[in-house]
Amino acid sequence: MRDLVLIGGGHAHVHVLKQFGEKPLQDARVTLVGRDVETPYSGMIPGFVAGHYSFEECHIDLARLCARSGARLVHAEATGIDRTGRRVLLKDQPAVTYDLLSIDVGSAPNVGAIAGAEQWAIPVKPIAELGRRWLEFSERMKTWQGPLNVTVIGGGAGGVELALAIDHRLREVAKAASLQVTLATKDEILVGQAAAAHRRLRAIFLRRGIRLLEHAAAERIERGAVQLEGGQWHQADAVFVVTEASAAPWFTGTGLPLDERGFLAVDDTLASTGDPRIFAAGDCATMLEHRRPKAGVFAVRQGPPLADNLRRVLRGEPARPFVPQRRHLSILGTGDGRAVATRGAWAIEGRWVWWWKDHIDRKWMRMYR
């Protein structure tokens, strides 16, 4: 019996579990090592924050999925890899041995780059922690009276969607508050996306009364305030950080090749460039020959080729190369039942775009629930 061990319950691993459950290999045992038993679908989290989805609707129960797939679940946090002994090292638990290993643990905002962020800010990643934090925060806001200033730091798609979702939800639940949501980013919003998308989102921010501060990097966070580049202080009763992703610190102790930002370096089969028995997918990995943004759409699409290659290696066959698409459809929910879709140079907006996004997301979730 050979042991396939999956570290992390990311989008790609969810598909691996489902595929191996539907077509099991008789001489292979699958084990999932997960710090979180309920894994969120990142595409639905802004809708959850906006109040359109319940916690259960946008989270996958890994215990139930493992039970249905015939996989073993080890509820523990991975802290390292003993490659010589082929063991996954766990926090406060015995190590788990492997014959073939795959890693899909996502990423986290680089909060260490902003002074005071670790103490005073709410990081959006790991996303698995955001759900309960947001429910607790929004519950407290129901009794808030007077000015309420919420700052979102980070102008990528995640930060833009979160700012719009927070604005929508708090206007519903914090009835006695005078709300002001601010988005601050060191660059322009949506860097790398179409100019048409920039124009539409800026117009939406203006229409909704959300303050947009571009070219305004956050330098320090203290209780009740954020200091931006240039020394300006802005009042902030709550700060959410959605900045550039960072890699898990324990990667550096594995001896595996990493990219310049500390993410696991993989080839076009999703195998580590330094160890053919270790694969990686999602935000925690970088395909050196096909670099793409750290976005959920790419993690989702890595699921099928990852599952296929893990199966092939277990059968003694060579892994197949995989080339991710360069251009992809991006649909950004605006929190109020509308959305903006962008691909290439164009962007469209409307309520029907949100219905389209909602249909896509719910269809994906149904496959794994």
Same domain, 145 and 265: no
Assign residue 172 the CATH number of its domain: 3.50.50.60
Q: d(Cα 290, Cα 288) in Å, to the nearest integer?
A: 6
The answer to whether the beta carbons of residues 246 and 263 sit under 8 Å apart is: no
Residue 290 lies in a domain: yes
Among 294, 314, 334, identify where a domain stops: 314
Same domain, 103 and 118: no
Residue 204 lies in a domain: yes
* DSSP annotation of 107: -
Name the residue among 244, 213, 222 with its Cα closest to residue 107. 244
Same domain, 157 and 138: yes
Q: Note down the domain range covering 31.
A: 2-107+247-314
Residue 328 lies in a domain: no
Residue 176 lies in a domain: yes
How many domains would you assign to the chain?
A: 2
Residue 280 lies in a domain: yes
The answer to whether the beta carbons of residues 142 and 162 sit under 8 Å apart is: no
Residue 121 lies in a domain: yes
Q: What is the pLDDT of residues 61-91, one digit of tens each?
A: 999 999 999 999 999 999 999 999 999 999 9
**pLDDT the model gives residue 329:** 83
Residues forming beta bridges with residue 82, ordered by sequence position: 87
% the chain with pLDDT above 90: 81
- Encoding tokens for residue 53? 């989805």
Full-model pTM: 0.92
Q: What is the pLDDT of residues 284-298, one digit of tens each?
A: 999 998 888 777 778
